[in-house]
Amino acid sequence: GGAGVDPFDIFNSFFGGGGGGRSRQRKTQDVMHKLGVPLEDLYNGATKKLALNRHIADSQGRVTKKKEVLEVRIERGMENGKKVVFKEKADEMPGAITGDVILIVQQAEHRVFKRQGPHLTMERDISLRDALCGFKLSFAHMDKRQVVVESPKGQVTEPGSWVCVQGEGMPIKGNSFNKGNLFIRL
């Protein structure tokens, strides 16, 4: 004969159904934290450390408090509001599945650049002479490069007009060579 295994017992163990009034295993609560990230870190990429106090259960069911440091990888071009999940890093409880720690990226304001999706905007003042005769702007980008933008000689630039600098916006996540554009309001 067979090994005496009832296939329904296996099915029930996977899906929690049937005999003995078995209940679904509880899960401890997920923990959510907001993580303030400077725009420079979303542009260049970075690693942040976040210290958490969590409850850890040992094999005897005793629960102790422990400080744990999570390393968060901020990817280039990561979006504001993006959730980073650390599976089973919330509080532990005997007999329960451990919940997750969920970090929500909160982009901090930047003093020069504003982000609009993959694009960046900034404002610069130019003199009347530069507006009438042509201008040359130089500024440090978030990766410390000097970017130079100039208008054709003799081109008149109206106040409030925009200049588009191709490929100087935010990195497009997942494609390290593509970037959005930078729009400069003069």
Tell me whether domains 26-107 and 114-185 share a fold. Answer: yes
Instruction: Tell me what pLDDT residue 5 has.
Output: 57
Q: How many CB atoms lie within 10 A of CB 43?
A: 23
Q: Are 16 and 26 in contact (CB under 8 A)?
A: no
CA 123, chain centre distance (Å): 26
The residues, ordered by sequence, that sit 6+ positions from 128 with a Cβ below 8 Å of its Cβ are none
- Which CATH architecture group holds 114-185? Sandwich (2.60)
Please state the pTM of the whole predicted model.
0.78
| pLDDT tens track, the chain, 186 positions | 455 555 555 545 555 444 444 456 889 999 999 999 999 999 999 999 999 999 998 888 888 999 999 999 999 999 999 999 999 999 999 989 999 999 999 999 999 999 999 999 999 999 988 888 889 999 999 999 999 999 988 788 988 999 999 999 999 987 768 999 999 999
Which pLDDT does position 107 carry in this prediction? 97
Q: Tell which CATH classification among 2.60.260.20, 3.40.50.1860, 3.30.420.40, 3.30.70.260 matches the domain 26-107.
A: 2.60.260.20
8-state DSSP, 10:
H
Which one, of 76, 147, 159, lies nearest residue 118 by Cα?
76
Q: Can you say whether residue 61 is alpha, beta or left, with left for phi > 0 and alpha for psi between -120 and 50 degrees?
A: left
